[in-house]
Amino acid sequence: MKTQKLTIVIPAYNEEEILVSSVHRLIDIEDQIATRSNQGLQEIRADILIVDDGSKDRTWELIEQLHQENSRVCGLRFSRNFGHQSALIAGLTEAVKTADMLVTIDADLQDDPDKIPDMVNLYAAGDDLVYGVRNNRDSDSWFKRTTAQGYYRTLRLLGVELVPNHADFRLMSKRATETLLNYHERNLFIRGIIPKLGFKTGQVEYKRTPRLAGESKYPFKKMVAFAWDGITSLTIAPIRLILILGMVACLLAIGMVVYAVILKILGLTVHGWSSLMVSMWFLGGVQLISLGVIGEYIGKLMTEIKGRPRYTIQTKLE
Ligand code: UDP
Ligand code: MG
């Protein structure tokens, strides 16, 4: 059987504290996979591609050093910070040129890299997509856990298909990756596109550990922006909700007319000040929210139509 090539793609933004040890650990794991493949199984070559998402610390210098130590480590450097999802897409776009299977994993290795050999086994057994699925959320704060769960539940209610407890730790075959890269959206929420690709899928379970060094590169603001992108780029359900809300408001208004007529008949008029105020503010609010949601979608349309590049590569180490 032809030698298969595995590339591990790592997005990295200000990861100087953890990158080197993470890469060493991944190289060890790749060596295990390669040795095992020498023992009569399929032969596997493996390398690593790190995408520096415009880091402001020494991340790029470290990538250059790692590349010098070991030519299997390659790097891409963005001209500025484009975001985690763009870094993943850039890494996949570059790596898929030569790789047969691609694994994406965060630089902090919170997602268990020891599961990569299992992912490769599933690939060898015929899976095109292997999801890393967390079997618990113990390592998250209470706040992150509840907001994340509520958020994913909402997405599902809005009709977005998602793999439960799966983020961006996965293995993809060459053809699955090429299919993903055919989705050209600028507003990226990769985990929402993956279930649409089709193909035979498998999963490995793992326990997510806390970050060993450095801080989360997803501060609250970035997380909210990402969550909002997830909803508005994957579903138009909120616009439909507006329609439904509008209908409900109309029905309520009809009810109010009936109520007013009854009051009139009973001779109890002009005590309607409060109901008038409430309905005025309520409807005003509904209208403003509706306009806002529609505006949000129009804004998204604008960024998509402009078709700006999703990222700009400044330097390449190969
Ligand atoms: N990351 C990135 N660009 C960004 C933010 C994050 O490439 O603008 C990378 C980061 O270096 C890490 C991964 O995305 O490899 C996930 O980030 P992090 O671990 O900070 O997120 P968390 O685990 O806290 O959700
Ligand atoms: Mg992390």
- How many H helices and E strands in the chain? 10, 8
* Section 19-28 average pLDDT: 96
In the chain the beta strands, taken as DSSP E runs, fall at 4-12, 44-52, 73-78, 101-104, 129-134, 170-173, 201-206, 313-317
Which residues line the pocket of ligand 1, CB cutoff 6 A?
11-13, 15, 53, 81, 83-84, 87, 106-108, 110, 216-218
Out of 218, 221, 229, mutate this one to test ligand 1's pocket (max ligand atoms within 8 Å of CB): namely 218
HSE (side-chain half, CA atoms, 13 Å) at 309:
9
Determine the longest span between alpha carbons in the chain, in angstroms: 94
Helix (H/G/I), strand (E/B), else coil: 218: coil
CA of 175 to the centre of ligand 2 (A): 28
Name the token pair of 308: 């700006």
Over the stretch 112-164, which tens digit does the pLDDT of each residue have? 999 999 999 999 999 999 999 998 877 788 888 899 899 999 999 988 889 98
Note the ipTM here: 0.97
Over the stretch 151-203, which tens digit does the pLDDT of each residue have? 999 999 988 889 989 999 999 999 999 999 999 988 889 999 999 999 999 99
Query: Which of 205, 208, 222, 83 has the alpha carbon at shortest distance from 141?
Result: 208
Helix (H/G/I), strand (E/B), else coil: 46: strand
Over the stretch 241-273, which tens digit does the pLDDT of each residue have? 888 888 888 788 788 888 888 888 887 776 676
Residue 45: CB atoms within 10 Å: 17
The answer to whether residue 313 scores a pLDDT higher than 80 is yes
Over the stretch 192-237, which tens digit does the pLDDT of each residue have? 999 999 999 999 999 988 888 888 888 889 989 899 888 888 888 8
CA of 87 to the centre of ligand 1 (A): 10
Helix (H/G/I), strand (E/B), else coil: 316: strand
Please provide residue 202's backbone torsions phi and psi, each rounded to the nearest 5 degrees: -135, 175
Query: Which of 117, 111, 109 has the alpha carbon at shortest distance from 46?
Result: 117
CB 206 within 8 A of CB 112: yes
Report which of residues 137 and 3 the model is more confident about.
Answer: 3
Name the token pair of 28: 């060890």
Residue nearest (by alpha carbon) to ligand 1 atom 17: 217
Residues with CB under 5 A from ligand 2 (ion): 106, 108, 110
Q: What kind of fold does domain 4-235+309-317 have according to CATH?
A: Spore Coat Polysaccharide Biosynthesis Protein SpsA; Chain A (3.90.550)
